[in-house]
């Protein structure tokens, strides 16, 4: 069966610190991968998506970056976090043209 793992579940970081969130997918090949951010009570904002290894599309200019070093691995990073980076970060994958399976999410709080 297909599964998606995302960690950590919760993270508290100081302003200016680096960030690395990892997401891995099992049971499928060459998935489309997505990183979304959700503010409390709001919809999902697409940050990055990837259709293949090393192929990253950025949707929102910001201090975040993404990488896909392996087919089923998607990493979200930042060199220096801002207060505005707080939120609920969700990794997702799909084989069609839309996200179909989401990870459990990471709640990121910036202090």
Partner 1 sequence: GQSLEQPSEVTAVEGAIVQINCTYQTSGFYGLSWYQQHDGGAPTFLSYNALDGLEETGRFSSFLSRSDSYGYLLLQELQMKDSASYFCAVRPNTGGFKTIFGAGTRLFVKA
* Residue ranges in contact with partner 1 by CB under 8 A: 32, 34, 41-46, 49, 51, 57, 59, 90, 92, 96-105
Cβ contact 9:104 at 8 Å: yes
CB of 15 to partner 1, least distance (A): 25
Least gap, CB of 16 to partner 1 (angstroms): 28
Give 12's contacts (C-beta < 8 A, 6+ positions apart): 108, 109, 111
Min CB(30)–partner 1 separation in Å: 13
Residue closer to partner 1, measured from CB, 14 or 43: 43
Give the whole-angstrom CA distance, residue 21 versus residue 32: 17
Element (H, E) at 17: none
């Amino acid at each position: 069966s297909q599964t998606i793992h995302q960690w950590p579940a919760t993270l508290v970081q100081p302003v200016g610190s680096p960030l690395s969130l990892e997401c891995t997918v099992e049971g499928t090949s060459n998935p489309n991968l997505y990183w979304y951010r959700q503010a409390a009570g709001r919809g999902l904002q697409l940050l990055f998506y990837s259709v293949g290894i090393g192929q990253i599309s950025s949707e929102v200019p910001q201090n975040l970056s993404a990488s896909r070093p392996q087919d089923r691995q998607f990493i979200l990073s930042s060199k220096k976090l801002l207060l505005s980076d707080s939120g609920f970060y969700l990794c997702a994958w799909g084989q069609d043209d839309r996200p179909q399976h989401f990870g459990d999410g990471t709640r990121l709080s910036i202090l």
